[in-house]
Amino acid sequence: MNLAQRLLQTESVQIRPSEPFRLASGRLSPVYVDIRRLISFPEARAQIIESFAQIAHERIGLSAIDVIAGGETAGIAYAAFLAERLDKPMIYVRKDPKEYGRSSQVEGVLHPGQRVLLVEDLVTDGGSKLNFTRGIERAGGTVHHCLCVFEYFSEEAKLHRARDTLKEHGIALHSLVNWDDVLRVARAEKSLTEDEIAIVLGFLRELAA
């Protein structure tokens, strides 16, 4: 089973054009993504970490990675699994610096100049990843690569804001699954009609605008 299928099977990606989700912003959405659910599914979890490890070996190179970082909160678990798999030190990055003690945003040991691989569950527009990157840079590290499980990307909808944003800041985004992958499965399995897929693509095009 490919990972896009697992995301649908585990309801980590849900698509309900006829009964849209209400987002925190109040906006209605035909889709909802919760990659955090996957840590409860060992087979999916193992598939993700194996894929991450393959990217680290083949596209990035282990010699170019000094530390694995997870972003608060959902990225921490995936970073921990991967750091164990690659036998690398791990840190995690808060969304904001602590308001007490050392006022640190990075937890763990990070030495000046160390190259950090940022690991996340989900990338939408790339903004939170830049925030994590700034925190790592203030602590002395550098970030040139980011791994994520699911990316809000669709060639069909011309949605590629996240990878464009990160590329502008010198960060290569490596994602395992995107919307085109999920919709390809939905078409193959006939779990959505073409009209329902058109609604999803319309929503994604609005995000790209």
> 42 lies in a domain?
yes
> 178 lies in a domain?
yes
Summarize pLDDT for 16-35 with one digit per residue, the tens. 999 999 988 888 999 999 99
E strands of 80-137, at which residues? 90-93, 106-107, 115-123
Q: What percent of the chain has pLDDT over 70?
A: 97
> 30 lies in a domain?
yes
The DSSP call for residue 62 is G
Q: What CATH number has the domain bearing residue 75?
A: 3.40.50.2020
Summarize pLDDT for 105-141 with one digit per residue, the tens. 999 999 999 999 999 999 999 999 999 999 999 999 9
For residue 97, pLDDT beyond 90: no
> 209 lies in a domain?
no
For residue 171, what are the domain limits? 3-202
> 69 lies in a domain?
yes
DSSP element (H, E) containing 14: strand 13-15
Cα dihedral across residues 131, 139, 66, 68: positive or negative: negative
> 207 lies in a domain?
no
Note the pTM of the prediction, 2 decimals. Answer: 0.95
> 153 lies in a domain?
yes
For residue 205, pLDDT beyond 70: yes
| CA dist., res. 129 & res. 121, Å (int) | 11
Q: Is the peptide bond before 165 cis (omega within 30 degrees of 0)?
A: no
**First vs last Cα of the chain: how many Å apart?**
33
Average pLDDT, the chain: 95
Phi/psi for 75 (5° steps) reads -75, -15
- How many domains are contained in the chain? 1
Greater confidence (24 vs 170) lies with 170
> 164 lies in a domain?
yes
Q: Is residue 209 helix, strand or coil? A: coil
